[in-house]
Amino acid sequence: MKQMIFLIILLSILSYIIYNYIESQRQFVFGYGSLIIDNSREKTLEYPSIGYKAYILSLFKYSRSWTIIEPNYNLELVMKHNHKQEHDTSGVIFQVNPDSLERLDERESMYQRIQVPVHMIQTDELNFHPNNKIWIYVRNNENINPIVYSSTDQVKYINKLLDACHIYGDDYAKNFIHTTSGWNLNWLEHRSIHELLLRYKKLMNI
């Protein structure tokens, strides 16, 4: 009987050690732009992906901004270091494996992947192990180019992002608008611009 009890205790300890190790090896990516959009994210990952509502704390000192990326002059959202950052920034957190992380690296080849300390991510939907790795793609070496023109393609991209944001709630969408700089007032004149941007245009960080 004692041997059986000892064996049960030993197996329980081993199970806990194995579980704890597996949990400690998890990796995540914090997406703040097109990676918020489920279809966009899953197209790259090549499997269904749950994006959990999350915020990167202002203490991380990175802020989100619209810019035009050369040489194709595509409209992009970037994160750059900003020592004056005052607000937590909305995004999604999702789990990745080594293969999917490699695919994301290819997709975000013009960005730099850096690690975010676990305590800099606030979410009510996941529990992190202290040893988990959380990544974000940033553009520290990129100048922020002001958006000087408006196009239908730009508005379509903005509308997709705002649709994705609104899935996570009105306050989340408001945070997205407020914590993003570089908004172009010309977008508000476009007949198909998203109603959320018109509703909360006073929050736009120009």
Query: Residues 104-142: pLDDT tens digits?
Result: 999 999 899 999 999 999 999 899 999 999 999 998 666
| Mean pLDDT of the region 16-40 | 83
The 10 Å Cβ neighbour count of residue 168 is 19
Q: Tell me whether residue 16 is in a domain.
A: no
Nearest to 33 by CA among 141, 126, 107: 107
Q: Tell me whether residue 13 is in a domain.
A: no
Question: CATH code at 125?
Answer: 3.10.490.10
165, 36 Cβ separation under 8 angstroms: yes
**Rounded-to-integer distance, Cα 47 and Cα 99, Å:** 11
Residue type at position 155? V
Q: Tell me whether residue 3 is in a domain.
A: no
Q: Is the pTM of this model over 0.95?
A: no
Domain count across the chain: 1
Q: Tell me whether residue 123 is in a domain.
A: yes
What domain range is 126 assigned to?
A: 25-203
Q: Tell me whether residue 191 is in a domain.
A: yes
Q: What pLDDT score was predicted for residue 95? A: 96
Q: What pLDDT score was predicted for residue 146? A: 75
What confidence category does residue 10 fall into, taking pLDDT thresholds of 50, 70 and 90?
Answer: low
Q: Where are the alpha helices (DSSP H) in the chain?
A: 2-24, 38-45, 98-107, 152-167, 170-178, 195-199
Q: Tell me whether residue 158 is in a domain.
A: yes
Q: Tell me whether residue 121 is in a domain.
A: yes
* DSSP-derived 3-state class of residue 118: helix
| Mean pLDDT of the region 8-31 | 72
Q: Tell me whether residue 147 is in a domain.
A: yes
